[in-house]
Amino acid sequence: MPTAQPLRTGDPQRLGEYTLSGRLGEGGQGAVFLGTRGGERYAVKLLHGPVGDERGAFLREVELAKHVARFCTAQVIDAGFDEGRPYIVSEYVEGPSLQREVALTGPRRGGALERLAVGTATALAAIHRAGIVHRDFKPQNVLLGPDGPRVIDFGLAKALDAAATVSGRGVGTPAYMAPEQITASAVTGAADVFSWGATMCFAANASAPFGQDSVAPVLHRILTAAPELGLLDGRLRTLVESCMDKDARNRPTSRDLLLALLGEAGDVPDGVLSSPPAPILRATPPLIPEPRPPMAEPEETGASGGYVLPESREPTGSGSALAELGREQSTSGGPASVDSPAGVGGGSGATGWGRVGRPPETSGPHPGTQLTQPPKRGWPRAAIAVCAALTVTAAVLLTVLIPTFDEQRGAQAGPLLPDTNPPVITQSPIGESTPIRTRKETQEQREPTAKPPPATRPVTVPVPSLVGMSKGAATKALKKAGLALGAVTEADSPEKIGQVLGSEPASGAEAARGSKVALQVSKGVAVPAVTGKARQAAENALTGAGLEVGTISHTCSDQPGGRVLGSDPEAGSRVAGGTSVNLTLSRHGTAVPPVVGRSRADGRAALEAAGFRVRQRGQVVEDESRAGTILRQSVQAGSCAKPGATVLIIVGVAGQSGPPDPGDEQPSPTPSGQIPGD
């Protein structure tokens, strides 16, 4: 949005709940004001004419507009009526229009143009998805906010139709209208796609594709001529050309337009859409707890007191130390009693883990002998697990504590002698080899590694709010906050020259104390060159640059009348937005020199030197001191007259009785009266 100007006479001070504080602009549809409510700023657009019987349709379109995605548009907030004239309230976007920015900084190129195309096409697709046809998509309705382009003035179709009928104004801007809007055919979203293409042509060339002169020639070229695509090139040129097809049926939809800008589906590498790319970090799987020792389960037979380990249901061969121990006793001829751990696998030496509590197939020292007493129950599996756990714990404690005691004794007795003995390998109760490391190896493992010194975290301070300050005030604020002034860059802006526009790091960000903060300051806007232009063209150039037209003065010149001879400030000067620029216009002709009060000879010489012919007439004066002095001249001094024109001068003469001076005409009998030719 441009800088707000003061309200004019007749402008409303309030619309609904919104207090108006200034003007943001005015166009063919209505005037836009800066409104506030609850400390928030809004853009309030008041249409020129009433909507008549279309109030309901207008409010329905506003409700639709409220649901348009707001990431690429100025969100519609509210709407209402003021003495029959509708107004619509939208989000205030801090930034110039595309029309104004291109006029100030020139056409867009490369990535900037492509970002503009994608952002505006996204907005158009969002508007159409909400069921709305914009009908007036143009550079003036694209605001370049700090976070990207925003499209405004959508959701006004019904209101604009009705207001245009009442006020006699047309809907749409001629240079960006689609052919169907000119021929009064059905208007759909395809018209907005056509206007989007024309807007991209303007962004790339600083001129509309069908010209911006008189309305009739522009409309004729839209209907019959091909658009001037200018500097558009590559893929974007082809796409814009298809969007500006005369037949609306041949144009892409806004959705197809956006997809075409992003690239065809075939351009996506294989595997990107079907599975996450390799660089994407996947979620860390939850930690899986280590499996606990298996619990004993009831025997399948249901025998009382009979339990079996899950893995004992299937023979595991000779993988168990206890089974191996049972086999050794069995093969050695010793009794495999069920009262001892060795008898766990009795009668099934080849099957590894046996079933606890089952009677062995053979029992006793002599095969074939029948036991007269029932065998005793085997140890429960839980008791075996506890014994094994205690044994492992004892082995670990011995492995850790013995080297520790040795180190303590060695520290008291003196330095340790080199130990050349290899590690002693002991057999654990469960059949695993556990190495017992020497004192030297243990000492090397326990020796702490050098830790890097802890990094000191730099002291940070928040960057103060600097936007709106002068460069000097911003420098003082930075110094007060414990920061320093960094690089200072200038940018075109309507703000006051030297005013801070932004900082890096931005306001509120944390920065290390003493670090430098770069500033971007306004260098104002350049006064456009208007010399040689007609008055109206010069005024349009000034207002388009965000400046005001000041006083108008005239001077004689050989230039045609109404041409601009100069401006104050001069062209190229840097001024703040809204500054008044004075213009000097031409009046065709030569300035008539002032000769009243001069002698007749001097006056005649001055007039003749300026290129005028002189006629002289005498007038009797009572004061003899005025005799021979020019009393009046027929053409006012300083006015412009054609070279060679006749200027009549009245010269005072004293009363006399003799004949008059041969060079004088007959003296006038009265000292006053209208001079012929004045």
Q: Provide the annotated active-site residues.
A: 136
Taking each helix axis from N to C end, the angle separating 98-105 and 189-205, rounded to the nearest 10 degrees, works out to 20
User: Phi/psi class of residue 108: alpha, beta or left (left: φ > 0; alpha: ψ in -120 to 50)?
Assistant: beta
CA angle in degrees (0–180, nearest 5) for 581-584-590 = 175
Other beta carbons within 10 Å of 373: 5
Question: 195 with 138: CB under 8 angstroms?
Answer: yes
Q: Is 656 in a helix, a strand, or coil?
A: coil
Distance CA 95, CA 101 (A): 9
Q: What is the DSSP letter of 658?
A: S
- Any idea how long the chain is? 678
Tokens of residue 412, six digits: 């008291």
Stated as kind and residue range, the H or E segment containing 129 is helix 110-129
Residue 621's H or E segment, with its range, is strand 613-621
Distance CA(666)–CA(266), nearest Å, equals 102
Instruction: State the Rg of the chain over Cα.
Output: 50
DSSP string, 413-454: H-SPPP--SPPEEEE-TTS-EEEE--HHHHHHHHSPPPPPPP
For CA atoms 294, 295, 301, 304, the dihedral sign is: positive
Dihedral over Cα of 372, 374, 379, 381: its sign: positive
Query: What's CA 457's distance to the chain center, in Å?
Result: 32
CA–CA gap between residue 505 and residue 617 (Å, rounded): 82
Residue type, 658: G
As a whole number of angstroms, the distance between CA 266 and CA 526 comes to 47
SS3 content of the chain, % helix, strand, coil (to 5): 30, 20, 45
Q: Which residues pair with 616 in a beta bridge?
A: 649
Q: How far apart are CA 132 and CA 149, in angstroms?
A: 19
The residue type of 612 is F
